[in-house]
Amino acid sequence: MKEILDWLDERTGWRKLKEVILDRHIPKGVDWRYTLGSVTLFFFVLQVVTGILLGMHYSPSPDHAYDSVKYLTNEVPMGKLLRGLHKWGATGMVVSVFLHMLRVFFMGAYKYPREVTWFSGVFLFFLVIGFGFTGYLLPWDQKAYWATTVGAHMVEQVPYLGDALAKIMKGGSDLGTVTLTRFYAIHVLVFPALTLLFMAVHLFLVVWHGISAPPEKDPTLSDKDPDWKARLKSRYAELKAQGKSFWPYIIFKDTVAVTLVFLIVLGVALWKGAELEDLANPTDSSYNPRPEWYFLSVFQLLKYFPGKLEAFAIVLLPLIVVSILFLLPFIDKGPKRHPGDRKWLVLAGWMSILGVVFFTVQGARSPLTNPVMEQNPLVMQGKRIFTDLNCLYCHTLNGRGGSVGPVLDLVAMRRDKNWLGAHFRNPKKLTPGTKMPNFNLLDGEVESLVAYMSTLGATTYSAEAPRLFEDNCASCHKFQGTGEFIAVDLSHIGRARDAGYLAAYIKDPVKMNPDAAMGGYADQLTPEQILDLANYLYQKGK
């Protein structure tokens, strides 16, 4: 064994490396707060590993992205867990990089001679934010689509260059195919490469200068003293001599911290998973766009800058934040690192943290003005298939389309679900001589199409329906000018739900939505009344 190790040492010099990296002494006083950097590093590794695995089932195109994510989540073994880990790992990384930065800030660890370490860290911080922003477009769900729409509009506000910049970001004037491939390339190629680069610099410098010792209050130290740098160095050497070696003492602490956060992330990933909203739908005007929580403070801030000041908020404010971060080591110079000696700065730091927390909370609480309602996934799927199969080449809907087949408005009044199902499975069998081709649809596709077709009807409601609503629903639900706004506002419910769904929901809400707070009306109302009510809501709410 010894021979092998010697052989290797002569060729790689690993003993020297081990000495410099693993055996180096860490100054006395380095405690648990110092594990945050390693935790962040761990998150990066976690994101790389889970990211690579997700990449094996992901297809970066608007046609397939959503389905591929859905597939890998629901059908690939462990897919759900891995996506959960990636999602919550991202959250964890934002938190840990932020806390790490705060530790460095409050301890004044960015001061001489570690300024460049700090700069590389600031770059890494922005990379983490960039990862977040580019990452959540990839599933191509509603959140992805609308958050990126807002992001692109923000870029557009930049004076003079805005339009060009937004186009560069989107790869064209609309959010589409090229946007997704761009974001994908940046998320999985550009940013990881840059992160590795800056991380290499960062870690090299950490080893080169040694981890900063906890700040000490030393009234005799000041930058008036011509050899304060030498004094700092000798004090550091002293502390270092009293400290323990990196391996295994510090690494032990790091490993404990990493295991702890891993358990947390694992727990949250198992518990919450990673939600996937409905497929991105540019035509949906009842969606309430909300960014990922770490952008909520920005989201909220945007509310306070009216009209013309917008450009200020979008260009100047970030610029100020970036410059402060980069200039920090020049603003706050000299040997004094203890928070007690940097009162104003520490105060400013606390104020900014409170500000960010405050705006984040405000942002999270801002009311959802669009009625919150889930879409019926089957109907949406059906609509997609309807478009994909180019049904409008032959059929007409809403006054547009071809004239070969029958008009489809109100088709649900003429045909019931059984007929529609049989028709899609084999048109010629049901209607000999029809020109409708057999598309060889799978069962799931037939079901979706039938669901969609069934929404195209004008089932009427009786004169009694409004009274039914007043008596049974108005005490909680708002509906176009009547009722209380306690539960969901139903004014536009017909845009998201068909009458059949509504009827089923009124009958037994929990069956349709396990989280429903509403009780069923199967006992209070007759089936005819429920249907009447559902038709009323659907027709008037369309």
Partner 1 sequence: MKDPKGISSGPENPQRRTFLIALIAGMGGFIGFILGGSGLYYFLSPALRGKKKEWVDLGPLHNFKEGQPVKADYLQRKRDGWEVIDSSGVVWVLKEKENYVVFDSHCSHLGCPYNWDSAKEQFVCPCHGGIFGKDGRVVAGPPPRPLDRIPVKTENGSLFIMLEEKA
Q: How far is the CB of 277 from partner 1 (least distance, A)?
A: 14
Taking CB under 8 A as the binding criterion, the range among 44-52, 76-84, 165-173, 496-504 that sits at the site for partner 1 is: 165-173
Q: How far is the CB of 62 from partner 1 (least distance, A)?
A: 8
Q: Is there binding between residue 189 and partner 1 (CB under 8 A)?
A: no
The whole-angstrom separation of Cα 538 and Cα 542 is 6
Give the CA distances from residue 110 to residues 94, 101, 161, in Å, rounded to whole numbers and listed in that order.
20, 10, 34
Whichever of 115 and 409 has its CB closer to partner 1, that residue is 409
* Binds partner 1 (CB under 8 A): choice among 55, 172, 349, 520: 172
Q: How far is the CB of 54 from partner 1 (least distance, A)?
A: 23
Residue 310 CA to chain centroid, in angstroms?
A: 24
Q: How far is the CB of 313 from partner 1 (least distance, A)?
A: 9
* Binds partner 1 (CB under 8 A): choice among 91, 181, 245, 362: 181
The whole-angstrom separation of Cα 184 and Cα 186 is 5
Q: How far is the CB of 398 from partner 1 (least distance, A)?
A: 5
C-beta of residue 69 within 8 angstroms of C-beta of residue 144: no
The whole-angstrom separation of Cα 360 and Cα 126 is 18
Q: Is there binding between residue 400 and partner 1 (CB under 8 A)?
A: yes
Q: Is there binding between residue 113 and partner 1 (CB under 8 A)?
A: no
CA-closest candidate to residue 242, choices 33, 18, 25, 35 = 25
The whole-angstrom separation of Cα 420 and Cα 297 is 49
Give the CA distances from residue 20 to residues 45, 246, 255, 363, 457, in Å, rounded to whole numbers and listed in that order.
23, 10, 20, 47, 76
Taking CB under 8 A as the binding criterion, the range among 204-212, 252-260, 287-295, 525-533 that sits at the site for partner 1 is: 287-295
* Binds partner 1 (CB under 8 A): choice among 122, 165, 197, 441: 165
* Binds partner 1 (CB under 8 A): choice among 12, 173, 222, 524: 173
C-beta of residue 243 within 8 angstroms of C-beta of residue 27: yes
Q: How far is the CB of 355 from partner 1 (least distance, A)?
A: 18
* Binds partner 1 (CB under 8 A): choice among 390, 431, 438, 524: 390
Residue 192: is the preceding peptide bond cis (ω within 30°)? no
Q: How far is the CB of 432 from partner 1 (least distance, A)?
A: 31
* Binds partner 1 (CB under 8 A): choice among 23, 75, 174, 216: 174
Whichever of 60 and 108 has its CB closer to partner 1, that residue is 60
Q: Is there binding between residue 285 and partner 1 (CB under 8 A)?
A: yes
Q: How far is the CB of 163 from partner 1 (least distance, A)?
A: 8
* Binds partner 1 (CB under 8 A): choice among 55, 113, 214, 289: 289
Residue 286 backbone dihedrals phi, psi, to 5 degrees: -110, 20
Whichever of 38 and 491 has its CB closer to partner 1, that residue is 491
> Hey, is 479 helix, strand or coil?
strand
Whichever of 336 and 497 has its CB closer to partner 1, that residue is 497
Q: Which 141-160 residues touch partner 1, going by CB under 8 A?
A: 146, 149-150, 152-154
C-beta of residue 530 within 8 angstroms of C-beta of residue 469: no
Q: Is there binding between residue 299 and partner 1 (CB under 8 A)?
A: yes
CA-closest candidate to residue 121, choices 13, 213, 201 = 201
Q: Is there binding between residue 365 and partner 1 (CB under 8 A)?
A: no
- Give the H/E segment covering residue 450: helix 443-453
Q: Is there binding between residue 287 and partner 1 (CB under 8 A)?
A: yes
Q: How far is the CB of 144 from partner 1 (least distance, A)?
A: 14
Taking CB under 8 A as the binding criterion, the range among 86-94, 228-236, 365-373, 497-505 that sits at the site for partner 1 is: 365-373
The whole-angstrom separation of Cα 102 and Cα 344 is 15
C-beta atoms surrounding 266 within 10 Å: 15
Tokens representing residue 115 in the block:
């300024």
Q: Is there binding between residue 273 and partner 1 (CB under 8 A)?
A: no
Q: Which 475-504 residues touch partner 1, going by CB under 8 A?
A: 480-481, 491-492, 495
DSSP assignments along 348-392, one per residue: HHHHHHHHHHHHHHHHHHS---SPP----HHHHHHHHHHHHTTGG
Q: Is there binding between residue 469 and partner 1 (CB under 8 A)?
A: no
Whichever of 171 and 509 has its CB closer to partner 1, that residue is 171
Q: Is there binding between residue 292 and partner 1 (CB under 8 A)?
A: no
Residue 179 backbone dihedrals phi, psi, to 5 degrees: -60, -45
> Hey, is 523 helix, strand or coil?
coil
**How many binding residues for partner 1 (CB under 8 A)?**
55
Residue-wise over 341-367: b if at least 16 C-beta within 10 A, else e?
bbeebbeeeeeeeeebeebbeebeeee
The whole-angstrom separation of Cα 299 and Cα 363 is 7
By the criterion CB under 8 A, which residues form the site for partner 1? 61-63, 146, 149-150, 152-154, 163-165, 167-168, 170-174, 176-178, 181, 282-289, 299, 302-308, 310, 366, 368-370, 387, 390, 392, 398-400, 480-481, 491-492, 495
